[in-house]
């Protein structure tokens, strides 16, 4: 299902009852990570059309995060997140055009996992010390090693 960034932003802001906004942010990060991993699998299998669709979806999700920021706050963190989300969206779409798509994806995955874990720490899903020291899940380690 294709979702326009504005529609995605509305969905994130008004997600199902019982989920807080930060829970949704973490879920969106997870969805972007999954799309990037699946895009790598598609590229490896020679399914470039599938890779493109997955990267396009991941980029749209990043733009949805960008669109959902409350710019009225005028806080420095809002400006930082705006830049991060826009850059993430562009980097996702640039993955297949670079000289080493696997390395570009791996670098982006590291950034996304770090940000996701930071949000999880804010939510209290990770202890403060675990955010920096937490070992990725076994599957994530394997996927990252394959990409690098």
> In whole numbers, what is the pLDDT of the chain averaged over residues?
80
Confidence label for 6 from pLDDT (cuts 50, 70 and 90): low
Contact 95, 101 (CB under 8 A): yes
pLDDT tens, residue by residue, 68-81: 888 787 788 888 98
pTM: predicted TM-score of the whole model, two decimal places: 0.72
- Domain regions of the chain by residue span: 5-147
Mean pLDDT of 42-58: 96
The sign of the CA dihedral 19, 10, 86, 60 is positive
Confidence label for 12 from pLDDT (cuts 50, 70 and 90): very low
Confidence check: pLDDT of 56 > 70: yes
Determine the number of helices (DSSP H) and then strands (DSSP E) in the chain.
Answer: 7, 0
CATH classification number, 5-147, choose in 3.20.20.80, 3.40.50.800, 1.10.260.40, 1.20.120.340: 1.20.120.340
Q: Coil, strand, or helix at residue 135?
A: coil
Confidence check: pLDDT of 46 > 90: yes
Phi, psi of 17 (to 5 degrees): -60, 145
Q: How far, in Å, CA of 113 to CA of 9, rounded?
A: 21
């Amino acid at each position: 299902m294709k979702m326009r960034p504005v529609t995605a932003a509305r969905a994130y802001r008004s997600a199902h009852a019982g989920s807080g906004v930060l829970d949704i942010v973490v879920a969106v990060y997870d969805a972007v990570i999954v799309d990037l991993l699946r895009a790598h699998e598609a590229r490896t299998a020679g399914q470039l059309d599938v890779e493109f669709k997955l990267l396009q979806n991941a980029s749209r999700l990043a733009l949805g995060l960008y669109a959902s920021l409350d710019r009225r706050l005028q806080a420095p963190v809002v400006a930082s997140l705006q830049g991060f989300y826009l850059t993430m969206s562009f980097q996702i779409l640039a993955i297949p055009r670079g000289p080493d798509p696997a390395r570009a994806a791996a670098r982006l995955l590291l950034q996304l996992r770090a940000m996701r874990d930071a949000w999880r720490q804010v939510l209290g899903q990770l202890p403060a010390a675990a955010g920096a020291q937490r070992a990725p899940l076994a599957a994530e380690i394997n996927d990252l090693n394959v990409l690098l």
